[in-house]
Each structure stands twice: as structure tokens, then as C-alpha cells.
A and B are shown apart, each in its own frame.
Chain A
């Protein structure tokens, strides 16, 4: 394999941008500010150049014969001790190049959009520094050639997510949400680290990069294989917000909306799916682990869809839909349909980024109003936003032939074809729920009559710097599905074929009947979901008062409160108990006991030391008597 030096520049360009912007911001935030335009332009340079390099990379890979589509760049050894050798290096293959393409593309668009969205913010420069830092870390995550390099990016994106969730730090709850995200992710990361350590223990001695690991995967014992796969998946549940660690993502909506679009919908949260696909050579060996992944995924999809149906905050609705769609992706990679999972990552990036940016456009038009029950009838006021969000909603809801339909259908078909009927069935139900909550949001926001007259009157369409990215993404959300047009309609499944060299995947053979059943189920679910939403919300509806199960679901089954009671509070209690009780009275007891002993001894002897010469004379007489007695005895006199 030849060395491809420009691979390193793909993540380095945004990172350099982050450094420059960060220094500029820190140096000037106290005094005279630098013009926003300069920050905006500098902020966009890195991502756009990375996108161009990613395109170049894609075409040079395409020029190679399919089995040889691997390019590396290993600038130096990170660390090496005994049989543990970790190179600092990058690997470009079909899987990472596909990820690169949409990450840099969507990333660049969102950078451009942010110029409009963040205008006037006093931390404008900081925002772009963080956004660049995020993109650089995400590209390291995708391009890293070993699990450890991936982990650098993995933690880097987590850090940026934390920083950006807490971005509006005047509100204390935003800061708390940021902390929650970081610590919950950290719990997941422990799984990742342990998984890596087990992997090193098992087969790491002959090289700890993906290609060496892949070559040695067959040496992994089954027990170790299951352990590694499940531990890595624990890491994925943290980053990709799956049961039981999904709780941070809805709170993460505290960050600025472009952040929600880029980090908490299109790119970072899909890192877990990417990781499972990256380790497909391990997961394919242990189907049990895959089944666990698939079930956790589909149950998360169901749970999040239930929550999503009862939310009132437009961003929370989208957040739960993200959790739910991520569940689908895991269901896909869990049943060993890796290319289907990655394809859903790909299409989801377009339509979910579009929906968030559209929501951002609405929120900005209404002066940071996020409650959908304060909106209504915005179709006339925001025509471009309306049209693009409609495309995004249709894609999310799985309406053929929009992007989401093909990718979701591919996953459900794979589940059915590999005999996971239960997963397929739940998946279809969730598809119906998705259509319902998506169009509940859509109808309430854009149709009917305005619920808040004042903000409606002041609403106006966003500037072009924001609407053009919306339109571009809408085109993607509309047509990206055709890239993997199923064979049943005479397509070529180009994405699956492209990904094939990177993934250890067997395509299930299933008859036409299964294929039609899968498609029919999805379409039926979509139609039912959207028609219920149409009946209830199209003509306008008032904010409902939830009771019974609906209230329970609207409060997210009180999972946050449960975690606080059984995990957070005991942790704090232990810390407090140690500080106030154990440390001073038990651990430090010997250190305090010894001086006390000395003092007591001194006190006892003090009684004897009276200070009168006559008393000392008596001591002397007694001492001399004893001495002479002893001497006389020893001399046997």
C-alpha cells in the first residue's frame, strides 16, 4: 500500500482552523472584536477544503480495483512498548471515504448556515472554533487506522459536543446538560477502552491497526469475541444514544441548532454505527453479539418513538426521532446488514440535518420559540423553509421515493430475510409511529392557524446564507436514496457494492415475496401514521393535556429521575461520606493516634518530672540503691 500524504490533511485542515479561530477569539474577546465575516470565512475554509480532498480521495479509490481500495498514511509511531505498538496513522477505504464525503459535505453546509444563524452572538468566533474542532475530530474518528486513533477522535467529538451543548452557558441547565452528556459518554467510553484492551489482549500483539486485526480475527476465542463485541457496543450506546445511555441526547438540544444538526443528528451520534461496521469482521464471527445489538437498537427505536409522540419542543421531537433512527441503524448492523446500516447513516445525515436546520430557521423566525404549540400556519410566512422541511419530513417518515424510505426498507428487509421477524415487526410499527410524530410536528407548525399572533406577524424568511443550505440538503434528502436503488426495481445498489471491500457481509438471499412483504409493510405503516396525524392536526389543534400513559410517556417514563436516584445520588453520597467521616476519623486515625500516644506518654512522665531538687535526690538514691543491688548480685558478693 502506498503512502497517501494528503490523507493527513483532511482532519488537519479543520483542526488548524480551530486553532487559528480559537487564538483569535481568546485574544480579542475582551477588547475590540474581529468582524464576524472574517470568522465566518476562516471557519468555512477548512471544511470546504477537506470536502475537496475527500472528493479527490473518493475518485482515487474509485480508480483502483475493488479489492485494493485501501490507502494509508502512517506519519509516525504513537507509542510502542514491547508487543504493544500503536502507529499514528490514517486509513482510507470505501467505508471511511463514504463517511468522509457526507461528513465534510454536510459539515460545510452547516458551517455556511451558521454564519446566518449565529449572527450577532458575542461568542461567534468561539462557536466556529468549536465547530472546526468538532469536524477535525470527527474526521480523525473516521480516518483513524486503529481503534486507538479512532478513540482520539471519539473523545474529541465528545468534548466538542460537551462544549457546544454548554455554549449558552448563562443558563445553568445548559451547563448541566453538557456535563450529563460528557459523563454519560464517559461511561460508554469505558466499554470502548475495555473492549480495546481485551482486543489487544487477544490478538493485538501482531499489530493493532484494523488491517492486522482483521487478518487475525479468526484467532480470537469465542468467549473473548463476544466480550469484545459487547464492550465495544457499550461504547456505541454512549455515543449513539442507545438504551440505557440514550438519556443525554434529548438534553443535548440545549446547544445552538446548527450544532444539533451537525453533531447530534448527522455525524457524531452515528459514530457508534460506524464503529460496529468498522469492526464487522469481529461481529460477523459472533452472531450472538449482533443479535444483542439489533434488539437493543430496535427497542431504542420503539422507546424513543413513543417519547417522540408526546413532546412539545420542536427540537426534542427531532432529538427523539434521531434516537429512534439510530436504533434502526443498529438494528441494521446488528443483523449483519452493515451496508444497510451505513446507508441509513448516509441518508439520515441529509434529511435529519435538513430538519434541524429547518427547525432552526423556524426558531430564529419566531425569536427562539421552540414550543410547537406556540406556532402554526407558518407555511405562508416561511415558504422555503416549509418546502424543504416537507421534503425532510417525507424522508424521515419513510415515504417512497424519498431517501429515508430506501435505507429504512433495506434494514427492515434484511431483518426479515435473516429470520429476525420480531425485529422486523417492531420496526414496521416504529415506522408508523415515525410518520405520525413527524407529521404531527409538521402540521402543527406549518398548517392551521397561528397560535401566537404576535410572533407570527414578526416572522420572516431566513436570509439566503441559511436557505441555500436548506435547499441543497433537500435535494440530497429527496434523491440520495436512489444511490442504493434496490435490485428489485432494477437498481444496482451502488452504495452496497462500493462498501463491500470494507465490510464482512453476506447478503441474505430472499425471495421476491419477502422483499414485497417488507416494502408493503413499510408503506402501509407510513400511510396509517400520516393519516392519523392528518386527521388530528391538519386543521389545527390545541395543546393537549396528557393523562395516564401519555403523561408517563411525555415525562419519558421518568428514566432521568430513576437514574438520579439509583446512580447519581449514591455516588455523591459516597464522596461526601468519605470526605466528612471516613477520611478524618478512620484513614487519618493512625496519624492522629501516634501524636496522641506521645502526648499521653509525655503526660504520664510529666507527673514524675516535678522540678524539685529534693525529689530528684530521692530518685537518685533509689536508682543508686537498685544499681548497687544489681552490681552486688552480679559480683556474687
Chain B
């Protein structure tokens, strides 16, 4: 198979997938809460370290899937266990594995009851998440994609806030409902391709325009709900508000990326003509998300809701970057996925730390804690700056690349006037307004609040949890090039194939295609 670079030696990716699962089984006999915490931390940290081998061994000169493994799984249906990473998924996989130990750390004292099941959920979650990003068989992908919902449902439903049942059911049904058509599309695609579920086999085929549109719609529903794109985002604030800190971090940093990853991995290569035809609508929905998310975040009183709505806006930038279909846009979008994972994940960690102290997510209750928690507000300030796209931090680089890509798209599509770029821009002022509001309240506000001097500043565990995020905020912010290099070849080949396919399709169909 020319798409795969089979990994002859140690099965690195399978280790990353199954080690957390093994860790979950390992926890079963233990009763002591602390033992469970330490074991989970150890397992996730080990997985994180192993994943660094991916970075070390990754060949940036090829767009083929590396560290690939393939084994027959359900032979009668031609379903295989095929996995591999390329430049598009590599950083997402590594981000997932690197964030997990910090999710365990963030739950150290936050989760006081049923610690063992909680940690098992986290570990199962990690297995599913890594699997989704590396799966190259569509059935494997779909199973893991759905399997992820169960531990997340439990995380929200058991360890969540007061309205946890409502939030978890809404999350589960909304995202499940979205992906039902995805299964139909997968089976149809496999049928059309001689019952091959191998994803690269499905790419760049000639399915006919109407079929492509239908498949795109199925993809779109599944992925847009996951991202979430406006107006499919209403499950997100509910889920975030009720989820425990680690749940929010996983949700924001990793789960949301699966939607945008899906667009890149499936929508663009499998249904390119439909992508081009429906692109304008997706782009304007992205713009709507940026503006709508910003305005809504501005009016929130609940810190988690505020950050949840800011995610809607930020992910709008990501989908904008993907669908302008040029290099700056797509690479900016991938970088921005990582950036959003880092920044928003860290912001949710920060809110969790306040919540542990004040037992409230209300902005007004937390107002003024900065006076007693100088270390905490220092972290919060840096992450807020990153969130509002401050130059020198990670988000600025991603957003600028996306903006440059959007300008290019405007140049091609709209003659000489950058409608799209201009429409996206007010999002930046909104981001400044809502993040400053959060920061200002937390740091300085609330002279009327009761005495908060009992609040303890961050302990060492919490500092260790936040510090790596800060490191990446500035690392990507000041030297983004190494990160971009990992994705460059894959994105270039993706776009080359895309343009070649388009040229061919236009030549074949003449005027029929848009």
C-alpha cells in the first residue's frame, strides 16, 4: 500500500492507544484513592513520554502515513486495524498525550469521590482519542469516535455540577445524533470502493457530484456539531459548565479538534467537489460563529460559559482557515487547533482552580481574588492574552496565518475586496473585550465581596500543572516554525491533490460542476 510507511519495529502507535487502556485495567484491583491517582499519573506521563518518540522519528519530507500498522480485524467484512500518522494528525496526537497527565493533576484534589472510576474514564478516554486521530480504517475510526462519548458522558454525568444529567444527556444525544448519517456515508463509500474501508482508498475518487453533496452533508453534520460550529454549538456551554475541570479541558482541548480534524481528513479529500460547492456557506457560518461567540461571551456571568463561547469564536477561525483552501489558511488552522487546545485548556484549568477555592463559577463571586492569589493571576493574565491573540503568544501566529489565507481566498473569489477577512476582524475586538472583562474582574474587581483573604495561592502541584501550558504559549508564539514544519509536507500534498482533482473534474464535467 503506497500510502503507508509500515513501521517495522516497535508498534509505537498501538502502544499509545492501548497503554492507557491497560492502565485502566491495572487500576481495577486498587482501593486506595491516592494509589489510583499516582498510577494514572504514571501511565499518562509514560504515554506522553513515549509519544515524544513520534516527534523524534517523524519524517517531515513525506506525506505518507508513518509509524503505520495494519492487521486484519474483521476479515469477512474487510475491516482492518490500520493506523498511522501524517503531518495533519501528528501534532494533535502528541497534544492529546501531553495534555492527559495535566488532566490527572488537575483532578488530584478536585475529584474527591469515586476517584478510581474517574481515572478509569480518563484513561479509556485517552485510548479512544488517540485512536480517533490515528485510525486509517473508517470503521475503526467510527467505533472510536462513538466510543469516546461514553466516558465523556460519564465524566459529566457523575462528577459534574448540579445540572449534570441535563448537560450529559444533551451532549450525548446531540453529538450521537449528528454522527448517525456519518455511518451511512461510510457504508456507502465502502460499497462504492469494492468494500474497502481503508480511508486513503476513498480519497480523490470520482463519486459523481450529487453523491458527493450527500456525503458532504453527512460529514458536515457529524463534524460541525463536534467543532462546534454555529448554530450547532448549544450543547457545548451546557457540557462545559457542568463538566469537572478535567472533563472541560479534554472537551475543549481535544474533543473539539476532532470535528476540524474530520473536515481536513475526510471532507476535503473524499468529497472535494462538494467541498468547493458548499464552501461559501461553511465560511459564512464560521464568520457567524466568530461574531456570535464573541458577543455571547461578552454577556456571560459564568466563567466557564464565557470561555465556552469564546471557544465557539476561536473554532470559527479554525474552520475559516480550513475552508479557504490554501496553505496559509490550512496550516494556520492546524496550528490554531493546537493553540486553542493549549490556551483554552489552560483557561479551564484556571477556572477549575478558582472553583476549588470559592465553589462558584460566577464571575462576581470570584471578583477580586487576584489580590490574594498573585501567582494565579499571573498565569491567568498570560492565558487571557493568548486567548485574545496577543502578538508574541501562540494564538497570534495562528490567527495571522488564517487571516493571510482568508485574504488570499478573497483575492481569488471576491475580486478585489476582502469581504470575508473584513467580516472576521471584529471578532478580535470582541475577544479583547470579553477576556479583559474576565481578567479585570478576577484580578481587581469585587470590592464588595466578603473577605477573601482565606484564599490560598496556587500550590506547587497547580503551578506544575499550568507552567507547561505557559511554555508552549510562548514557544509557539515566538518560534512557530518547527511546529509548522511538521505539517507542511502533508498539507502541501493535500492541496496539490485537491487542485489536481479539481482540474480533472472540471475538465471531465465541463460546465456541469460549479
The A74-104 residues at the B interface (CB cut-off 8 A) are: 76-82, 84, 88
User: Is B37 part of the contact surface with A, judged by Cβ < 8 Å?
Assistant: no
Say which residue of B378, B418, B432, B480 sits within 8 Å of A78 (CB atoms). Answer: B480
Q: List the B residue with the shortest CB-CB distance to A591.
A: B234
User: Is B295 part of the contact surface with A, judged by Cβ < 8 Å?
Assistant: yes
Residue with the greatest number of chain A CB neighbours at <10 A, chosen from B173, B230, B392, B436: B392
Q: When each residue 478-492 of chain B gets 1 if its CB lies under 8 Å from chain A and 0 otherwise, what string results? A: 111100100010000
User: Is B209 part of the contact surface with A, judged by Cβ < 8 Å?
Assistant: no
User: Is B194 part of the contact surface with A, judged by Cβ < 8 Å?
Assistant: no
The B406-448 residues at the A interface (CB cut-off 8 A) are: 407-408, 411, 416, 418, 421-422, 425-426, 428-429, 432-433, 436-437, 440, 443-445, 447
Query: Which residues of the other chain, A, contact B440 by a CB distance below 8 angstroms?
Result: 166, 175, 178-179
User: Is A458 part of the contact surface with B, judged by Cβ < 8 Å?
Assistant: no
Query: Which residues of the other chain, B, contact A175 by a CB distance below 8 angstroms?
Result: 440, 444-445
Query: Which residues of the other chain, B, contact A588 by a CB distance below 8 angstroms?
Result: 234
Complex-state Cα separation, A194 to B417, whole angstroms: 12
Q: In whole Å, how far is B222's beta carbon from the nearest beta carbon of chain A? A: 16
User: Is A29 part of the contact surface with B, judged by Cβ < 8 Å?
Assistant: yes
A200 and B404 in contact, given A575-B296, A575-B298, A591-B234 (Cβ under 8 angstroms): yes
Which of the 9-residue segments B106-114, B140-148, B395-403 touches chain A?
B395-403
Query: Which residues of the other chain, A, contact B297 by a CB distance below 8 angstroms?
Result: 575
Say which residue of B328, B432, B479 sits within 8 Å of A183 (CB atoms). Answer: B432
Query: Which residues of the other chain, A, contact B292 by a CB distance below 8 angstroms?
Result: 578
On chain A, the number of residues with a Cβ less than 8 Å from chain B's Cβ atoms is 55
User: Is A71 part of the contact surface with B, judged by Cβ < 8 Å?
Assistant: no
Say which residue of A80, A169, A178 sits within 8 Å of B484 (CB atoms). Answer: A80
Instruction: Say yes or no: B401 contacts A152, CB within 8 Å.
Output: no
Instruction: Say yes or no: B392 contacts A194, CB within 8 Å.
Output: no
Instruction: Say yes or no: B480 contacts A84, CB within 8 Å.
Output: no
Query: Which residues of the other chain, A, contact B231 by a CB distance below 8 angstroms?
Result: 587
Query: Which residues of the other chain, B, contact A313 by a CB distance below 8 angstroms?
Result: none
Instruction: Say yes or no: B296 contacts A197, CB within 8 Å.
Output: no
Complex-state Cα separation, A172 to B392, whole angstroms: 29
Instruction: Say yes or no: B484 contacts A78, CB within 8 Å.
Output: no
Complex-state Cα separation, A594 to B180, whole angstroms: 15
User: Is A156 part of the contact surface with B, judged by Cβ < 8 Å?
Assistant: yes
Q: List the B residue with the shortest CB-CB distance to A154.
A: B391
Q: List the A residue with the shortest CB-CB distance to B381.
A: A163
Instruction: Say yes or no: B298 contacts A80, CB within 8 Å.
Output: no
User: Is A534 part of the contact surface with B, judged by Cβ < 8 Å?
Assistant: no
Complex-state Cα separation, A328 to B437, whole angstroms: 35
Say which residue of B296, B374, B397, B404 sits within 8 Å of A29 (CB atoms). Answer: B374
Q: When each residue 556-582 of chain A gets 1 if its CB lies under 8 Å from chain B and 0 otherwise, what string results? A: 000000000000000110111011100
Complex-state Cα separation, A169 to B390, whole angstroms: 23
Instruction: Say yes or no: B391 contacts A155, CB within 8 Å.
Output: yes
Q: In whole Å, how far is B513's beta carbon from the nearest beta carbon of chain A? A: 26
Complex-state Cα separation, A133 to B457, whole angstroms: 24
Residue with the greatest number of chain B CB neighbours at <10 A, chosen from A182, A198, A579, A595: A579
Instruction: Say yes or no: A30 contacts B390, CB within 8 Å.
Output: no
Instruction: Say yes or no: A148 contacts B425, CB within 8 Å.
Output: no
A183 and B234 in contact, given A81-B328, A169-B443 (Cβ under 8 angstroms): no
Instruction: Say yes or no: B404 contacts A84, CB within 8 Å.
Output: yes
Say which residue of A77, A156, A190, A587 sits within 8 Å of B428 (CB atoms). Answer: A190
Instruction: Say yes or no: B429 contacts A187, CB within 8 Å.
Output: yes
User: Is A121 part of the contact surface with B, judged by Cβ < 8 Å?
Assistant: no
Q: List the B residue with the shortest CB-CB distance to A29.
A: B374
Instruction: Say yes or no: A26 contacts B299, CB within 8 Å.
Output: no
The B342-357 residues at the A interface (CB cut-off 8 A) are: none
User: Is B81 part of the contact surface with A, judged by Cβ < 8 Å?
Assistant: no
Complex-state Cα separation, A169 to B425, whole angstroms: 31
Q: In whole Å, how far is A325's beta carbon from the nearest beta carbon of chain B? A: 28
Instruction: Say yes or no: A26 contacts B375, CB within 8 Å.
Output: yes
Instruction: Say yes or no: B391 contacts A152, CB within 8 Å.
Output: yes
Q: When each residue 172-185 of chain A gets 1 if its CB lies under 8 Å from chain B and 0 otherwise, what string results? A: 10010011001100
Q: In whole Å, how far is B447's beta carbon from the nearest beta carbon of chain A? A: 7
Instruction: Say yes or no: A159 contacts B385, CB within 8 Å.
Output: yes
Q: When each residue 137-160 of chain B gets 1 if its CB lies under 8 Å from chain A and 0 otherwise, what string results? A: 000000000000000000000000
User: Is B327 part of the contact surface with A, judged by Cβ < 8 Å?
Assistant: yes
Q: In whole Å, how far is A182's beta carbon from the nearest beta carbon of chain B? A: 6
Query: Which residues of the other chain, B, contact A183 by a CB distance below 8 angstroms?
Result: 429, 432-433, 436
Query: Which residues of the other chain, A, contact B481 by a CB distance below 8 angstroms?
Result: 76-80
A84 and B328 in contact, given A572-B299, A594-B177 (Cβ under 8 angstroms): yes
Instruction: Say yes or no: B425 contacts A190, CB within 8 Å.
Output: yes
Q: In whole Å, how far is A231's beta carbon from the nearest beta carbon of chain B? A: 11
Complex-state Cα separation, A591 to B176, whole angstroms: 13
Q: In whole Å, how far is A235's beta carbon from the nearest beta carbon of chain B? A: 13
Say which residue of A148, A179, A583 sits within 8 Å of B400 (CB atoms). Answer: A148
Say which residue of A26, A159, A197 sits within 8 Å of B374 (CB atoms). Answer: A26
User: Is A201 part of the contact surface with B, judged by Cβ < 8 Å?
Assistant: yes
Q: List the A residue with the shortest CB-CB distance to B392.
A: A152
Q: In whole Å, how far is B451's beta carbon from the nearest beta carbon of chain A? A: 15
User: Is B172 part of the contact surface with A, judged by Cβ < 8 Å?
Assistant: no
Q: In whole Å, how far is B407's beta carbon from the nearest beta carbon of chain A? A: 5
User: Is B261 part of the contact surface with A, judged by Cβ < 8 Å?
Assistant: no
User: Is A9 part of the contact surface with B, judged by Cβ < 8 Å?
Assistant: no
Instruction: Say yes or no: A84 contacts B401, CB within 8 Å.
Output: yes
Instruction: Say yes or no: A578 contacts B295, CB within 8 Å.
Output: yes
Query: Which residues of the other chain, A, contact B480 by a CB distance below 8 angstroms?
Result: 78-79
User: Is B86 part of the contact surface with A, judged by Cβ < 8 Å?
Assistant: no
Complex-state Cα separation, A84 to B173, whole angstroms: 43
Instruction: Say yes or no: A156 contacts B401, CB within 8 Å.
Output: no
Complex-state Cα separation, A82 to B436, whole angstroms: 34
Residue with the greatest number of chain A CB neighbours at <10 A, chosen from B231, B418, B422: B231
User: Is B198 part of the contact surface with A, judged by Cβ < 8 Å?
Assistant: no
User: Is B126 part of the contact surface with A, judged by Cβ < 8 Å?
Assistant: no
Say which residue of A76, A154, A595 sits within 8 Å of B479 (CB atoms). Answer: A76
Query: Which residues of the other chain, B, contact A152 by a CB distance below 8 angstroms?
Result: 391-392
The B276-295 residues at the A interface (CB cut-off 8 A) are: 292, 295
Complex-state Cα separation, A25 to B378, whole angstroms: 11
User: Is B300 part of the contact surface with A, judged by Cβ < 8 Å?
Assistant: yes
User: Is A381 part of the contact surface with B, judged by Cβ < 8 Å?
Assistant: no
The A135-194 residues at the B interface (CB cut-off 8 A) are: 148, 151-152, 154-156, 159, 166, 169-170, 172, 175, 178-179, 182-183, 186-187, 189-190, 193-194
Complex-state Cα separation, A430 to B328, whole angstroms: 48
Q: List the A residue with the shortest CB-CB distance to B433.
A: A183
Instruction: Say yes or no: B378 contacts A26, CB within 8 Å.
Output: yes
Q: In whole Å, how far is B436's beta carbon from the nearest beta carbon of chain A? A: 6
Complex-state Cα separation, A583 to B233, whole angstroms: 10
Complex-state Cα separation, A108 to B443, whole angstroms: 30
Say which residue of A151, A179, A580 sits within 8 Å of B436 (CB atoms). Answer: A179
User: Is B170 part of the contact surface with A, judged by Cβ < 8 Å?
Assistant: yes
Q: In whole Å, how far is B20's beta carbon from the nearest beta carbon of chain A? A: 32
Q: In whole Å, how far is A244's beta carbon from the nearest beta carbon of chain B? A: 15
Q: List the A residue with the shortest CB-CB distance to B428.
A: A190
Interface of A with B (CB < 8 Å)? 22, 25-26, 29-30, 76-82, 84, 88, 148, 151-152, 154-156, 159, 166, 169-170, 172, 175, 178-179, 182-183, 186-187, 189-190, 193-194, 197-198, 200-201, 223, 571-572, 574-576, 578-580, 583, 587-588, 591, 594-595
Pairs A–B under 8 Å by Cβ, sample size 25: A22-B378, A76-B481, A78-B479, A79-B397, A79-B484, A81-B331, A84-B328, A148-B400, A154-B391, A156-B391, A169-B443, A178-B440, A179-B437, A179-B440, A183-B436, A186-B428, A186-B432, A187-B429, A193-B400, A194-B422, A197-B404, A571-B433, A572-B298, A578-B296, A591-B170
Sample of 8 more A-B contacts, CB < 8 Å, known A30-B374, A193-B428: A80-B481, A148-B400, A159-B390, A169-B444, A190-B426, A201-B418, A571-B295, A579-B296
Interface of B with A (CB < 8 Å)? 170, 173-174, 177, 230-231, 233-235, 292, 295-300, 326-328, 331-332, 374-375, 378, 385, 390-392, 397, 400-401, 403-404, 407-408, 411, 416, 418, 421-422, 425-426, 428-429, 432-433, 436-437, 440, 443-445, 447, 457, 478-481, 484, 488
